[in-house]
Structure 1
């Protein structure tokens, strides 16, 4: 019926019906819009609070770790010569080290043979890694095998032993080639030895040097142990990765020291890791405070304009949460050495955030490292106490999640109310059009009747018409 203007009455039915519908619809729409804005704003604010609280809780979990305070560090003053790591059992100490020689593995070459070499007869190459390797590995070679085929058979058979073979050609001396074998395992008496009853041209004694004239033997130097000194005491190791010389400490020898120079190896608590986690905790707490301040403040925007209010202005949940956390932060622990955050150089600023005095914190870690650990960790430590204050808010089904679920339900209900309003307005509009069109039809009929009566009366005998 929309769009029909009253013909009989001359009334603009569309305009009248539209005005009446708007008068019915507008107040309810405005009410729902205000409710939706307020609900959405609060829902978003609680989400921001939950996010900041989750980050704060993660930082507390990282700091509430016994492993963090049990960790030990091993620091080398010259990482190009030596690097090190320490287990939690390592005792603090400082050591002077020098590396005289690195452990090396065996690398040998067979005697020079023609590049077109082929085995003259069947034979077995027995490869051993040092004199203690009494069994060795037997590699069967067939008559006619080329040097390439011998190489491939060696690589297949010696893979598990950590020995690899390759071919080095020397075209300058008339086209000769050598098999070169390299071992992974380092240490003295780990020289590669190759023997054969028939293929003697491929035999190698890894304890003698190869010659430039093509004689078999080791290349560079024979396999040797690492040699180093700790506080003047000479030590040797078959590997460049050394464990057990200093209990709980493992270090890797990387290069030889300069003659007459030593490096310092310092073993101690992981003060750097603890400091990083304390700073992370402070940053997360400050972010929580900044978030709550933003969500609860009222900002004036000038005369005549309504102030801008945060989504949680006057919210009791925020007040209770912060009060609980702050009470634990200032509540002293019942222990010696470190009883409060101020003992670590952590103080509260005027805006409620925390500030770290790095110098005081460093000194506290140096003098009372174990006390710092017990202050933060354990069932009665600061992190556990604060976490208990936070848990009821952030856990599944907790205060924040329940409130957000309630707000989400309100938003869903607003959508349903809008649907009901639209349906009710459409029904009202249909009813009004029906009523006004009926009225318009009646007015048209009455107008026609009036015109007919006027015409009939004017035509009656004896009726005198007045000229207009």
Structure 2
């Protein structure tokens, strides 16, 4: 009797040829697939970990840059406040002393602004070729005006000249009822800084002559000279003492104090120790350091079960790179600073936690360092270093990490290598899939051929059996 054909089995043999092929293919595929899967999982985790590490270091470097700002100092030992910032601003350096100063601003220092005579032809008026000499104080700037020049091209040439640009001299064109005039201005303030122009007759300007002044001569087409008034020095008093300055930024009047004159009026400037500001800036440094240190630790520390045994590995568990970065971070912390009395962070209450590697900031020790030991004036030197030197803690810290975080550095190289590995794993998977597809086709054909042959043999056996049964039946009959 023929074997029954089961669902999903070969029609001829009754065997589940599909299951047999699948089992053989999976057995052949298992080892290589497992290798690729492990490599892919590890590579993906590493790419994610390195990406997180780059983000952490970028945030840390930005924090160091902000704390080291020259335009917005974060570690001044003293703070200066103005009772009326609309009148003047004040900034204290580390050489300042506590005190209060009554400042009265009589007038601000002004800059020179001069105008040429009017050109009825407007901005395209022709200008005679020659050497245009622009003088301000003891400095003279020569400009060659070529044939075919116009009022506009002369203006553009003045603004493009690097020497005049460096001196803060600029030009523009103003058109009034008489025509267009070449107007020159300067960022230099103070008496004696008036601009004069010579060398080309139609552009000659006598800066010592005032035109267009209130209550003065009426402006005419030929009027040329200083507009409104000559440049003057700032006049102000400090605690009743009369002073002058060519600039509205006054940094020599009071030792360690810079005054920025804004408008006429009176304001009181108070200088006091900047303990709160220093504490806040130091806390920012500690927080930035700990964010990086703790982030690196999280990338390397495996999860633990209830018994304290590692269960799930972190993205960079076992990777030497994070440990080398931590070591590079800690190096500058133990180095002596450039100060006189303040040389190590521990004097400010900053210590390293021996268990976690993070920094601790003891505000009580910090307050004692500021009030009892008077170290506030050296905090900036410790963090920023000497003027013009990169020997401060922030600079040393950034330098120690530059080999890792700079473009083309260790982290970029690691990312490149991981992406190469990722591509190779993808190609390996594609190659394995092609081989498995080919193997599946080959085995399927073989087992289908076998099944067909078995079916034919069964059919032949069935025919022979039927013949013998027929013969037997005839003999019995």
Pick closer, same or farther for the CA change 1:72–1:292 going to 2, 3 Å: closer
Aligned match of 1:192: 215
Pick closer, same or farther for the CA change 1:96–1:303 going to 2, 3 Å: closer
Select which of 318, 333, 347 maps to 1:329: 333
Measure the CA separation in 1 of the matches of 2:58 and 2:271.
35
Select which of 398, 407, 426 maps to 2:418: 407
Measure the CA separation in 1 of the matches of 2:401 and 2:53.
12
Aligned match of 1:44: 48
**Is the 8 Å Cα contact of residues 75 and 83 (structure 1) preserved in structure 2?**
no
Aligned match of 2:253: 246
Q: CA deviation at 1:284?
A: 1.9
Measure the CA separation in 1 of the matches of 2:308 and 2:351.
41
Measure the CA separation in 2 of the matches of 1:24 and 1:38.
23
Q: How does 1:40-439 map to 2 (within 5 A)?
A: 40-61=44-65, 75-79=80-84, 82-85=87-90, 94=99, 96-97=101-102, 99=104, 191-194=214-217, 229-234=237-242, 241=248, 246=253, 249-254=258-263, 256-257=265-266, 263-266=267-270, 278-301=282-305, 307-333=311-337, 336-349=340-353, 351-356=356-361, 357=363, 359=367, 362=370, 367=375, 369-370=377-378, 372-373=380-381, 376-377=384-385, 378-439=389-450
Secondary structure of the corresponding residue to residue 475 of structure 2: coil
Secondary structure of the corresponding residue to residue 316 of structure 2: coil
Secondary structure of the corresponding residue to residue 6 of structure 1: coil
Pick closer, same or farther for the CA change 1:374–1:346 going to 2, 3 Å: closer
Measure the CA separation in 2 of the matches of 1:244 and 1:429.
86
Aligned match of 1:33: 37
Pick closer, same or farther for the CA change 1:274–1:334 going to 2, 3 Å: closer
Q: CA deviation at 1:230?
A: 1.9
Measure the CA separation in 2 of the matches of 1:365 and 1:300.
46
Measure the CA separation in 1 of the matches of 2:453 and 2:184.
112
Measure the CA separation in 1 of the matches of 2:78 and 2:182.
37
- Count residues in correspondence: 370
| Deviations 1:271-297, CA, capped at 9 Å, x for gaps | 888766544432221111110221122
Secondary structure of the corresponding residue to residue 339 of structure 1: coil
Pick closer, same or farther for the CA change 1:11–1:44 going to 2, 3 Å: same
Measure the CA separation in 1 of the matches of 2:306 and 2:75.
57
Q: CA deviation at 1:55?
A: 3.0
Q: CA deviation at 1:249?
A: 4.1
Structure 1 portions without partners, runs of 5+: 106-128, 141-151, 163-186, 197-205, 207-223, 258-262
Q: CA deviation at 1:244?
A: 7.6
**Is the 8 Å Cα contact of residues 344 and 364 (structure 1) preserved in structure 2?**
no
Structure 2 portions without partners, runs of 5+: 1-6, 121-174, 186-209, 220-227
Select which of 459, 464, 468 maps to 2:475: 464
Pick closer, same or farther for the CA change 1:238–1:26 going to 2, 3 Å: closer
- TM-score, L = length of structure 1: 0.61
Measure the CA separation in 2 of the matches of 1:347 and 1:254.
47
Pick closer, same or farther for the CA change 1:193–1:308 going to 2, 3 Å: same
Pick closer, same or farther for the CA change 1:104–1:399 going to 2, 3 Å: closer
Q: CA deviation at 1:422?
A: 1.0
Pick closer, same or farther for the CA change 1:382–1:11 going to 2, 3 Å: same
Measure the CA separation in 2 of the matches of 1:87 and 1:155.
50
Q: CA deviation at 1:41?
A: 0.9
